[in-house]
Chain A
């Protein structure tokens, strides 16, 4: 039998990379959850905190990229290790984008905070926000646990979000037609639906990157 060479330093560096993605994921979840809270209960301090968190995630992403480049240069990884490193780079960039989209949600919150938003489209949005939160969380556990099943689930979840987006569009448009006075702030609800739909896409992409990392095939 061959002598085992665990490449201790290399393994440690890969573990650190995984931990960095996990930390970025936690920050992203925090930014997203806070942005949704702000939607229903506007809080200037929390808005500031979401924006700062998004910037922090961006900074973490640069650090992650720097680390991955150092590992590639020093360790010249191949096969599964290389695919893992590539996935970290891609996923870092998805998380960074989700962070900034959460910031955008707080901008919408600012615009609608003093308005009476009709119940019907708001219900669609709340439902979307719940599914999206679950998707972001699931995308992280999917990557960290290299889970093909939940990666596939994310594709189905994204279809649900797309349906809800269509329904929200239709409900908001109906409200606008019924009462044109509401257009000035309901238009922000459309932005919000679009932002949630884009976050769901990013979560689905993280699942897809996980599938590619495991199988080296396009999902």
Chain B
């Protein structure tokens, strides 16, 4: 199996708080991996470690390694802007910029130096089609993104992420603020996207994890209790703590 991300013995601290404790996880390429676990268990911290979003927090420190395509992303020579192009992120709440729909999607492309109008138009269209939003916005590209519904805004954020053609997309509870129909659209989109991207999704919705992911990892108290094929985890978990969590006995 080909792994795109390999985290090895990762320890993360915020001040004296030991958030991740010796976490090791390999993420297979072009698959969806779901991270599950109760609030505060370290899931979000873990994915933020994968594109160095934690670097922005002054009290953050870590040891261990994170390899992306075999290269250590914490190597001082790594360009963080380039890293975040390769490892994109979609957040819990849709966060479009207060700009037009077009400019939202073109934003990342412009940051990376693409200013040619024709190329931008082509890439924005491709990204919006990829995010299953094009049909709904093709005639209102110059309108404010803030006027879109929550579900459309989230797909716009996905379009903005895929416009720069990342290798990995991190999704931190991308559907928790959405209604069931919008959630279904995002889940269908995740299925479509995995052909071209590797997706890591944090979710509190157990059924969503079973629907969208091939692999799953269960986090508890900053450690990975169990990881493997999602079907196995939800049908015959090896660890009693996993069983207790997924069957709703604690959380």
Contact = CB atoms under 8 A, between A and B. Distances in A.
Given A76-B207, A78-B206, A216 B250 contact: no
A2 B247 contact: no
What is the interface residue range for chain B against chain A?
10 to 19
Contacts of A81: 247
A80 B38 contact: no
Given A78-B247, A81-B247, A2 B206 contact: no
B247 A5 contact: no
Given A76-B207, A78-B234, A6 B249 contact: yes
A83 B207 CA distance: 16
Given A78-B235, A79-B237, A2 B250 contact: yes
Contacts of A80: 243, 247
B235 A82 contact: yes
| Residue in B206, B207, B248 whose Cβ sees the most chain A Cβ within 10 Å | B248
A143 to B, nearest CB: 18
B251 interface: yes
B65 to A, nearest CB: 30
Contact of B251 (A5, A76, A216): A5
B248 A10 contact: yes
B246 A78 contact: yes
A82 B207 CA distance: 13
A3 B245 CA distance: 11
Contacts of A78: 206, 210, 234-235, 246-247
Interface residues of A, number: 17
A5 B248 contact: yes
A68 to B, nearest CB: 16
Given A78-B210, A80-B243, A7 B236 contact: no
Given A79-B234, A82-B235, A83-B235, A3 B250 contact: yes
Contacts of B38: 2
Given A76-B207, A78-B206, A78-B210, A5 B249 contact: yes
B251 A2 contact: yes
Interface string A56-91: 000000000000000000001111111100000000
Contacts of B206: 76, 78
Contacts of A216: 235-236
A218 interface: no
A79 B209 CA distance: 14
Contact of A79 (B207, B236, B250): B236
B121 to A, nearest CB: 44
Contacts of A76: 206-207
B39 to A, nearest CB: 9
A12 interface: no
A15 interface: no
A83 B246 CA distance: 14
Contacts of B247: 7, 77-81
Interface in B209-249: 210, 234-237, 242-243, 246-249
Closest 4 CB pairs of A and B: A216-B236, A2-B250, A78-B234, A7-B248
Interface of B: 38, 206-207, 210, 234-237, 242-243, 246-251
Interface of A: 2-7, 10, 76-83, 215-216
23 contacts: A2-B250, A2-B251, A3-B250, A3-B251, A4-B250, A5-B251, A7-B247, A7-B248, A7-B249, A76-B206, A76-B207, A78-B235, A79-B234, A79-B236, A79-B242, A79-B243, A79-B246, A79-B247, A80-B243, A81-B247, A83-B236, A215-B236, A216-B236
